[in-house]
Structure 1
Amino acid sequence: MVCGGYVAIANANQVQQISEFPKSEGSARDLQPVAQTTPENTPASTEEKEPDIELTVIDKLLNEPVYSPFRREGTVKDSTRPVYVITGEEMEAQGARTVREALKFLPGILPDGTVGTEVNALSGQFIRGSNSAQVLILLDGRPINELGSGSFDLSEFTTNIVERVEVLPGGGSTLYGSSAIGGVINIITRRPTEKVTTQAGVNFGAYGLNQQTINSSGRVGNVGWVVGYNRTEAENNYPFSIPEANFEGTRENNDVIYNNFNVKLEADLGSRNTLTLSTLYLGKDQGVPGGVPIPFPQFGQGFFNSLTDNNRKYTDQVLTDLTWNSKLGSGDDSLLTARVYADFLNTRSDNRSGELTSQNRFDSNQTSHGIQTTHSWNFAKNQTLVYGFDYRNTNVRNTTFSYSTNVIRENYDDAIGQGAIFGRYEINFSPSFSMNLGVWQDFSSLVNGSFTSPSVGAKLAVSDSTTLRANYIRNFRAPTIANLFSNNPTNIGNPELKPEKGDSFDVGIDQKLGNIGLLRLTFFSNRVSDTIAFTRLTPPVNGNTGTWENIGLVHTTGIEASLNLQLARNVYTFVNYTANDPRILESANPAEVDKELRFAGADKLNLGVSYENPQGWYLGLLMNSLNGYPTNNTNTEFLPGYTTFDLKMRVPISDSLVLTGSLDNMFDRRYQLFAGFPDGGRVFQVGLSSRF
């Protein structure tokens, strides 16, 4: 197991097999055999017991299957781009309940969000100086970003459905289009197992955590399935203090309940065609506790937020797609993937605090329909071409209901159509040198929406132990529907907005350290121009107090470093470090020029040491450290850094019963992720799962 660092060792007769890549997720996994290390995919075992083997740090990291750098299946070592992966096994060992939590120890990303550390805390992703709306979220290789706000809350995804998550820093517009300025996060869902398997689990923990999960997976004849349900509930009422506001109290109205369902049906239509239907339902009902007002002397006023005891948020998401994979010709060198998908993302926020005149309900309803076609063709021994066509039409309706007047005001109800053709060509000039060239041509329904995104990458193995890599990608993000068409009096839309533009460069080295470790080091530069920002109109125009404009230029430089070592048999350690320096070079506010971009400039250090043996035992001590960062772009307000230590444990009680446990923030380090929004302090959880 390798997660941003720590390593798991696998029992050969349990988890290692040579098989074809899975045929779903719009991938080219059929093109080459690889070693799979997921217990659920293991065929019926033979009577003979094979000896235990150890997967080394180097082998496990470099041979990890990934999809996002290629838009087909490959491995980490094949990519010219740095890409970081966490698997479902690793999430179980960490006690990660959601995808947001699973990203904590990966390099290259600041995933803590801005409103707390609870299981339901809103997810915000910052990669290479970008904000959450500039990071593209993929589900099995297709976009799911909400085009009203531009982002997607990763705390919606519970980890029981996830096979792995890939983080690709540095943008991905050449393969995936809009919103990939900072990077791409690809959530790969579980596939049917070869034999019928049912897994059930319960998890209990601090502050009323109560979680139940059941999944059934298998294959009969030519039909496979994965069916699952996750129910997660927590009260999250914990004591906290905010010294700056002279406040002590208990976090209230912070409860949550999830009801998540997943269904995947996979049919083999002969030996060369596969049809897969996948549907996820993500439902969440949660309290919104707000924040403690923080006095800022320089402004002579408090922070514009307050504790709330009645506000609630409801999300109701349905994500569904139908995917057809077909091997063309008579060999295994050509795979055509066609997908149609439909997503329904509904969010309701009830603001019932304060006087009746200020109480409102906000509804956002998004419907997306899309198609993807991809042909991955290894047309020569040393050359591969991936090309295709994408189209996505998204409609968002946003309304405000006033409880005092019983009047519904429509803020916007509009659509964006985004189509594109793309291609990526890879050539291996020699066993040690390879290059890739890519281009994406976007065709948007927006006046200024169309965009061309080229890319180039190269990789050179200067020796058996040293590999150099370099990349350039031109990225973009189309304006959201709210940016363009909102008729809210306080933030009128601007239909003349242009896409945000990004130029991402990186150079790096992968250095093997004998047979005991691997160092991966990347220097990056990311420039984002035509940033879409809200500006106030002084004086107001026709009653409108503000609108969005293309202003600003941000240049981020930094490093991503990851070191994995095997200290002794079954003993491993990892260190990863992410340094960001996002500087505002141009802004409508002169006070922001040459200042650090808020939130995105924090530096992150992770380290850990772990013991894990082939029988499945795991014990790990992991550290997460973040330095201080500004919370405004004029850099007059800062939050201090913090360091936390987590203790993780996995104990196989029998062949089918596993006990897991974790003690997070074990030294009870209290901090704020956003001014007035506290962390949960020391928390524990204990889980028991059975596979039969």
Structure 2
Amino acid sequence: MKKHSIALAVLAQLGALSLAYGQSSMTEEPAAQEQAKKASSAAPTAGMFTLGEITVQAPSKDTLLPTSSILTQQALRTQNQETVGNALNLLPGVHAAYSGSRGEQLFYVRGFDRLQVPVYIDGIPTYVPYDGRIDLGHFTTFDLSRVEVAKGFSSLIYGPNALGGAVNLITRRPVQSFEGEVGAGIGLNDDGDANNYRAYANLGGKQEQWWYQVGASYLKSDSFDLPGDFQPRNVQQGKGERENSRHKDQKLSVKLGLTPNATDEYVVGVVRQEGEKGQPTYAGALPLSGSGSGMRARWWQWPQWDKTSYFFTSQTEINPLLTLRTRLYHDQFENTLVGYDYRNGVVGNVGSGFPSYYDDDTTGLSLEGDLRLSERNLLRVAYHFKDDVHRSSDDGTPWTHFKDRTQSLAAENTFEVNDTLSVVAGLSYNERKSLSTRNYGTNAASPATPSLYNEPKGDNNAVNYQLGVFQALGEAGQWGQLRASFANKTRFATMMERYSTRFGRVIPNPDLKAERARHYEIGYNAAIAAGWTLDAALFRSDVRDSIQTVTVPSSQCNATTCDQPQNVARARHVGAELGLQGSVGVWDFTGNYTWLRRKNVSNPAVLATDTPRHKLFASASWNYAAWQITASTEAASKRYSSSDGVQVASGYAVYHLKGVYRFANGMQLEAGVRNMGDKLYSYSEGYPMAGRNYFVNVNVPF
């Protein structure tokens, strides 16, 4: 049976399901039908797991101060965002990016990358201990209640390494005795052939003194098709189907919470993620090569990208003035990378040095205390402890073993000077120690025969501090709120940056210091009219001791020169953000614009890569009775690519359209098209994104 026949069959089944399930809406009383129509524009909603939040708040009112940009569950569903990597592009100051050499969804927050902006799930850090290369394409959004992105000035309670901010993925918590949803969908290419599939379910219940939440999701793509005007430039990629672009992700999350009284809560949980993917081939202008100059001809696949996370989090009110919070977690990461011999577009046997295995884990503890010194003064203190362990083996070689211990002590005080003025001051001390540095390869003691050996250990410490002032304008802030902040933040070098030899081409540098950045921001937010909100910001970040690879003469590698990472770079990020959202009659609007200029101050000839100067997102939704029609656009100017630092990914504007029908019983049937104009565009030169494609989804809440 042809693929398009399968797709049509699935569409028919979804349609039949919607009609059968929706029959109950035909028997509802008129008042109930009208109520359902009024609610038809809203996506499914759920409660938020508040213990997963890390916020800055005014103590007397318990209101949040504006230090983060937020994506709600409704926004994620309305814009059909299924992975976190793509979803972040909806926010001002955040740019989606793509690591072509590894096929990973990346992001930049005001020009700071994934190493400098850690990702948290319910306040618990999640990353790859060795190299920090978290791939947000593996993180689905189906079980999230919201996404919070703090930029520059982010709460020091997050812990160490939040140089450029923090991304917190907050999951769901039930609000009813029994609630849930199931959903499924298919995606089709421009020829109508089904090429990706999704299914998910969320189930929860809240009782008097306990609750539970279970989520499961499945996301699979066989491939995607390139836009019709793509012209092949090498033997690795022809027209039509994108080579080696498949991926699959499965996720199961379980939380169980105890609520013995109105103030205390104790939660245990586990999250299991299983992923696999291929790395799409290079299809750009650079020549191909086996090594050296040009782009390497590469066919890599990850048959295993698995994470298992166990956690315990709690909140205990000791007395009305003191509240304690605890987060205890253990995270396991298992990864297998297989590279194949690949020449002239032909895939051969498994290449030399493969498979490559990672077996990493992190064990950590965070203790937080909220002390109300007075009605207007809240002091938060936090202690963070974590051990990161990395083990790796390439093609059966002996296993390496690296271990870091990181500790942090932070204090953050929020003081309300009066009813309209709040001041937030924070200070933290971070420390990282190398406990194990067992590497494999050649060294001075064994220059000819690879063996296990101990690298020199290197420790580091850093101090962070920040100050923020928030001034409400007018009585009760009816004219909005001004904010001004300064933050001095740091990031420790990863194990890979300190110890990787890149197959003998790089000299390790265990004494790398922490990168440092000073952030300055002035912002304004307000409800400018009935149903309309505005947020604007001007910012500047000065980065120093940035880690950059330099060429040095050496006798420690098999060449006259080697590379080595060093703290030599200085950079400046300057920009502006503008966000606006509101409603007019049956129309809902949201949009934001970002202007960003990055400069390598220490070496202006080195161009900033992967972020455009201009970025725009805009969306308009028309709501009528049970219908919602949403049109949106994503646009960006050109950007330089990290393929070689000078290749250009051209500017673009792509358009999307989605229609939703919601039955009176809450069921939703969706259909839409992405990249309506079949635009050829890319985040990184040589790695084009998908052409025009279609999707059909069904969601059944209960």
TM-score (norm 1): 0.83
| Paired residues of 1:293 and 1:303 also in contact (CA < 8 A) | no
Counterpart in the other structure of 2:145: 163
**Does the 8 Å CA contact 1:174/1:440 hold for their aligned counterparts?**
yes
Corresponding position of 2:586: 570
Question: What pairs with 1:225-374 in structure 2 (closer than 5 Å)?
Answer: 225-239=212-226, 243=231, 245=233, 248-249=238-239, 250-292=241-283, 294-295=285-286, 303-306=294-297, 308=299, 311-329=301-319, 331=320, 334-354=322-342, 358=352, 360-374=354-368
Among 443, 466, 483, the residue aligned to 2:497: 483
After TM superposition, the structure 1 = structure 2 runs for residues 401-416 of structure 1, keeping only pairs within 5 Å, are 401=395, 407-408=396-397, 410=399, 412-416=400-404
Residues 642-664 of structure 1: CA deviation (Å, up to 9, x unaligned): 10111123321231411122311
Q: 1:70 aligns with which of 56, 65, 72?
A: 56
1:625/1:451 Cα in 2 relative to 1: closer, same or farther (>3 Å)? same
Given residue 326 of structure 1, which amino acid in structure 2 is its aligned partner?
T
Q: Secondary structure at the match of 2:412?
A: strand
- The one-letter code of the counterpart of 1:620 is T
| 1:572-591 superposed matches below 5 A | 572-587=588-603
Measure the CA separation in 2 of the matches of 1:71 and 1:515: 25
The structure number with the bigger radius of gyration is 2
Equivalent pair of 1:193/1:224 in contact (CA under 8 Å): no
Tell whether 2:590 aligns with 1:603: no
CA distance, structure 2, for counterparts of residue 148 and residue 257 of structure 1 = 23
Residue 462 of structure 2 corresponds to: 451
Q: Deviations over 1:543-572 (max 9, x none)?
A: 383322111001010011112232x22312
What is the identity, as a one-letter code, of the residue corresponding to 1:483? E
Distance 1:159 1:260, change over 3 A: same
**1:631 has 2:648 as partner:** no
* Structure 2 unaligned spans of 5+: 1-31, 190-194, 343-347, 435-457
CA distance in 1, matches of 2:58, 2:86: 26
Contact persistence 1:388–1:423 (CA under 8 A)? yes
**8 Å contact 2:60–2:375 — kept in the other structure?**
no
For 1:160-190, what per-residue CA distance to the aligned partner results, in whole angstroms no more than 9, with x for missing partners? 2111101111153733233322221100011
Instruction: Find the aligned partners of 1:290 and 1:76 in 2 and give their Cα distance.
Output: 51
- Is the aligned partner of 1:89 residue 2:74? yes
Aligned match of 1:670 in 680, 687, 690?
Answer: 680
> Residue 92 of structure 1: CA displacement?
1.8
Change (3 A) 1:527 1:173: farther
Say if 2:179 is the partner of 1:197.
yes
Quote the residue 1:21 is aligned against: none
Any idea what the Cα deviations from partners look like across 1:568-596, whole Å, max 9, x if unmatched? 22312223111111100114xxxxx2654
Question: Is the partner of 1:530 in helix, strand or coil?
Answer: strand
What is the match of residue 669 of structure 2?
659
Shift of 1:53: 9.1
Q: In 2, Cα distance between the equivalents of 1:640 and 1:586?
A: 26
Find the counterpart in structure 2 of residue 18 from structure 1. Answer: none
Q: Take 1:366 and 1:359, find their aligned partners in 2: how far apart are those partners?
A: 19
Instruction: Count the aligned residue pairs.
Output: 620
Superposed CA deviations along residues 216-269 of structure 1, whole A, max 9, x for unmatched, are 211344221111221122111424565482663331322222221110111123
Stretch deviating more after TM superposition (537-546 or 498-507): 537-546
Equivalent-residue separation in structure 1 for 2:61 and 2:126 (angstroms): 24
Residue 52 of structure 1: how far off its partner (Å)? 10
Kindly provide the CA deviation profile for residues 581-615 of structure 1, in whole angstroms up to 9, marking residues without a partner as x.
1100114xxxxx265411134421111211246x7
- Pair 171,181 (structure 1): closer, same or farther in 2 beyond 3 Å: farther
Q: Aligned partners of 2:691 and 2:201: how far apart in 1?
A: 29
* Distance (Å, rounded) in 2 between the aligned partners of 1:73 and 1:152: 35
Is the partner of 2:296 in helix, strand or coil? coil
Contact 1:279–1:319, Cα closer than 8 Å, also in 2: yes
Gaps of 5+ in 1: 1-46, 402-406, 588-592
Structure 1 residue 337: Cα displacement: 0.7
Q: Judge conservation of contact 2:332–2:361 (CA < 8 Å) in 1.
A: yes
User: Structure 1 residues 483 and 295, CA, compared in 2 at 3 Å: closer, same or farther?
Assistant: closer
Q: In structure 2, what residue type is equivalent to 1:324?
A: S
For residues 435 and 202 of structure 1, what CA distance do their matches in structure 2 show? 47
Query: Which segment is superposed worse, 246-255 or 386-395?
Result: 246-255
1:532 and 2:520 aligned:
no
Which residue number in structure 1 is paired with residue 6 of structure 2? none
Partner in structure 1 of residue 570 of structure 2: 553
Q: For 1:338-380, what per-residue CA distance to the aligned partner results, in whole angstroms no more than 9, with x for missing partners?
A: 1210001122111023365546222222110000111123332
- Write out aligned runs for 1:372-451 (5 A): 372-401=366-395, 407-408=396-397, 410=399, 412-446=400-434, 447-451=458-462
Q: Distance in 2 between matches of 1:198 and 1:64?
A: 15
* 1:307 to partner: Cα distance: 5.8
Give the corresponding residue for 1:27. none
Q: 4+ residue runs of structure 1 moved beyond 6 angstroms?
A: 49-54, 63-66, 71-77
Q: Quick one: distance in 2 between partners of 1:379 and 1:617?
A: 51
SS in structure 1 of the partner of residue 105 of structure 2: coil
**Aligned partners of 1:595 and 1:634 also within 8 Å:** no
Determine if contact 1:378/1:384 at 8 Å carries over to the other structure: yes
Aligned to 1:103: 88
Q: Does the aligned pair in 2 maintain the 1:199–1:689 contact within 8 Å?
A: yes
What's the offset of the Cα at 1:135?
Answer: 1.1
Instruction: Indicate the larger mover: 414-423 or 655-664.
Output: 655-664
